[in-house]
Chain A
C-alpha cells in the first residue's frame, strides 16, 4: 500500500465493533475506529449513513446494541451524558432561548458546582476567546446565525471537555461565513488542544477541517484516512465516487507486475498503464478511476500508445475558475475533464464539437478492486 503514513498519536477514543439497531433498521453496523488525541476527526457520509447515530452514542444519548466505546481508556457503557467528559455542539445549536448568552455559557459550569466568581471569570474569558464579550447580556434570538454558532461553541468548550463533538457545525451558516468559520474552528482547536469529532455531509468542509476523515456508508466505515488519502487513494468505488467527481472505467487486468500493471478497458482506445503494483487476482475485473483534473486535452495527435483516448467535445461549462468539458468517446462513453482557466483571453481554447485527444500520467489512475 502506498498510503501516506499518519502520525499515529496517542489513541484517545476507541470504538470497538459498535452496532446500533432501531427495530429492524441497522443504523450503525459493527464500526471499529480509533481517534487520536488532539486531532480533528471527520465522519463524512450522506444522510442516513449512521454518522449522527455514532456521534450520539459517543455523547451518551444512544447506547450501542453491541460493542463498546472507550474514551481515554474508560468504558462508557451505562454512563449517562451528564457524567461523560464529552461535550457536544448541536446542529441547531440548541441554545436555551430563555437564558442570556452569559447564562447559556455558564450553565455547564454551574452544574459542576463552581463558585460564582470563578464561573463569572471563566465565562468572561471564554466569551473573549469567541469574540462575544459585548453580547453577554443578549438572548439567543437577539443574535445572528454566526454569533449563535460561537455561543454554542463557547458553551461546549468552557467545560474543558476531553472530546468535543460537532454535529454539522457549519451547516446553518451561509457560504461566505462558513469558509471564515472553518479556519476559526481550526485555530481554536489548536489553541485549546481539544480533540474534535465532526459529523458532516459536506466533503469540502471535511477536507478543510479534518486531520483524518472516516467515510461512512450504510452504517459502516468504508475508509479512514487523511483528506489526501481519501481523495487521491480511494479504496473503493463508493469512496472514489462519493468524494469529488471521477471517471470510472470497468476493465480487466492484462499484466500484473510488482512495479506496474496494464489494464484493458473496452471503453478506451488504448490500454491503461499504471506505474505501481496492486494486489488483485490475475485476469480480475477491476475499475480504473481517473479524476477530471488529471486528464489533459489536446488537439494534436499523441505519440503515446497507452493512457490515451480520443473523443468529441459535447458540452462545455464555464465555471469561472475552471471549465468543465464533457467529451464523448468513440465507444459512446462521456468523460468529464476540468481545465483551469489560467488566462483571461484564451483564444486557443477548445470549442464545441472539436475532436480532441485525452491523456494522463501513469501515476494518475487509481485501480479499484472493490
Chain B
C-alpha cells in the first residue's frame, strides 16, 4: 500500500482549487470576446483589454490613491505595531497590559463591517466635536487601515521578539548601553526581517481592503478595490481580468525573487556554520 496517497491527493486538489480561478482569469484576460468566458479563438490572444486598462484614467487614479494609502498605512502600522509588540513582550507587567493585548488581537478577527461602521461613526463624532477630521478621504482611510493593520504587525513582531532571547538585550545593558541604544543597535536590527514582512503584510491588507474603505472614504477618494467592487457588482468585465493578471504577475515576481534571495542566504549561512565547526575541531 502506498502511504500518504490520500493526503497528497488532497494537497494536489486543494492547490488546484486555489489556482484554477486565478489561471482562468489570466487566460481570459487575453480573450478578444466581451463575453469573458467564451473563447473567441480567431481573434485571440489579444492585448486589447490591457490597452483599454491603461487608458482608463479612473482606475489608474484609484490605483494611485491605493498605493499612497497602502504605503502610508504600512509605514504607520509598522511603527505603531513595533512599539506595541515591544511593549507587550519586553516591558514586563504594567497596568492595562491585558487590555492593550486584547486591543491588538481583536482586529485580527473583527468582522470588517463592524470595524468600518465604528470608524466612520468615530470620525463623524470627532468632526462634530472638534472639527477634525474635516470630511472623509485619504486621511480617514489611512487611519482606519493603520488601526487594523497594526494588529497584524504586532503579532509578527511579537513572535519574532519571542523567538530570540532577551538575554541579548541584557548583555547590551550590561556592556553599558542605555535602553534607547539597546533598542536601536540590538533589538531593531534583529527584528528587521519581521518589520519588512510586517510592512509588506500591512501594505497588502490596505491595498486589498474594500469594506472598511467604503465606510470611511469620502468623495473623490475611491481606492482601487472600491472601484473594482462597484464594477464587478455590475457584472464581469474583461479589463478587470487584465488588471488581475498584472497584479498576480507583480506579486509572483516579488515572491519568487524574495524566495530565491532567502534560499541563497540560508545556503551561505549553512556553509559558514559548517566551516566554523571544522575550524573549531582543529
Touch test A–B (CB under 8 Å): yes
Contact residues of A with B, CB < 8 Å? Answer: 59-61, 80-83, 86-88, 90, 92, 94, 96-98, 107-108, 111-112, 138-139, 141-147, 155-156, 159
A156 contact set on B, CB distance < 8 A: 174-175
Q: Identify which of A83, A94, A112, A138 contacts B171 (C-beta below 8 A).
A: A94
A159 contact set on B, CB distance < 8 A: 175-176
Give the total of B residues in contact with A, Cβ under 8 Å: 26
B268 to chain A, nearest CB (A): 11
A60-B173, A82-B174, A143-B279 given. 11 additional CB < 8 A pairs?
A82-B177, A86-B174, A94-B165, A96-B186, A111-B175, A139-B272, A142-B276, A143-B280, A144-B276, A147-B276, A156-B175
What are 27 pairs between A and B in contact, CB < 8 Å? A60-B174, A80-B173, A81-B170, A81-B174, A82-B174, A82-B175, A82-B176, A86-B174, A87-B174, A87-B175, A88-B171, A88-B174, A98-B189, A107-B185, A108-B175, A111-B175, A111-B181, A141-B269, A141-B272, A143-B280, A144-B277, A144-B279, A144-B281, A145-B280, A146-B280, A147-B276, A156-B175
A107 contact set on B, CB distance < 8 A: 172, 175, 177, 185
- Cβ of B134 under 8 Å from chain A: no
B171 contact set on A, CB distance < 8 A: 88, 90, 94, 96
Which A-chain residue is minimally distant from B186 (CB atoms)?
A96
- Cβ of B178 under 8 Å from chain A: yes
B170 contact set on A, CB distance < 8 A: 59, 61, 81, 90, 94
Which B-chain residue is minimally distant from A106 (CB atoms)?
B175
Q: Are B173 and A82 touching (Cβ within 8 A)?
A: yes
Bound complex: CA A141 to CA B168 (Å): 15
B279 to chain A, nearest CB (A): 6
- Cβ of B190 under 8 Å from chain A: yes
Bound complex: CA A142 to CA B280 (Å): 10
A155 contact set on B, CB distance < 8 A: 175
B15 to chain A, nearest CB (A): 35
Sorted from nearest, which 4 A-B pairs have the closest CB atoms?
A: A144-B280, A108-B175, A111-B176, A94-B171
Bound complex: CA A108 to CA B174 (Å): 8
Q: Identify which of A92, A98, A141, A142 contacts B165 (C-beta below 8 A).
A: A92
B165 to chain A, nearest CB (A): 7
Q: Are A96 and B172 touching (Cβ within 8 A)?
A: yes
Bound complex: CA A146 to CA B282 (Å): 11
A26 to chain B, nearest CB (A): 19
Bound complex: CA A343 to CA B189 (Å): 61
Given contacts A96-B168, A111-B181, A159-B176, contact A141 B280 (CB under 8 A): no
Bound complex: CA A156 to CA B172 (Å): 10
- Cβ of B260 under 8 Å from chain A: no
Q: Are B176 and A108 touching (Cβ within 8 A)?
A: yes
B190 contact set on A, CB distance < 8 A: 97-98
Q: Are B167 and A94 touching (Cβ within 8 A)?
A: yes
- Cβ of B273 under 8 Å from chain A: yes
Q: How many A-B residue pairs have CB under 8 A?
A: 80
B5 to chain A, nearest CB (A): 40
A87 contact set on B, CB distance < 8 A: 174-175
Which B-chain residue is minimally distant from A105 (CB atoms)?
B175
B183 to chain A, nearest CB (A): 13
A97 contact set on B, CB distance < 8 A: 168, 190
Q: Are B174 and A111 touching (Cβ within 8 A)?
A: no
Q: Which of B37-91 contact A (CB under 8 A)?
A: none
Bound complex: CA A156 to CA B171 (Å): 9
Q: Are A141 and B173 touching (Cβ within 8 A)?
A: no
Which A-chain residue is minimally distant from B190 (CB atoms)?
A98
Which A-chain residue is minimally distant from B168 (CB atoms)?
A94
- Cβ of B275 under 8 Å from chain A: yes
B280 contact set on A, CB distance < 8 A: 143-147
Interface digits, B149-191 against A, CB 8 Å rule (1 contact, 0 not)?
A: 0000000000000000101101111111110010001100110
Which A-chain residue is minimally distant from B275 (CB atoms)?
A142
Which A-chain residue is minimally distant from B277 (CB atoms)?
A144
Bound complex: CA A111 to CA B178 (Å): 8
Bound complex: CA A340 to CA B170 (Å): 47
Which B-chain residue is minimally distant from A145 (CB atoms)?
B280
Q: Are B272 and A142 touching (Cβ within 8 A)?
A: yes
Given contacts A94-B168, A98-B189, contact A141 B273 (CB under 8 A): yes
Bound complex: CA A92 to CA B174 (Å): 15
Residue from A59, A138, A143, A159 having most chain B Cβ neighbours under 10 A: A143
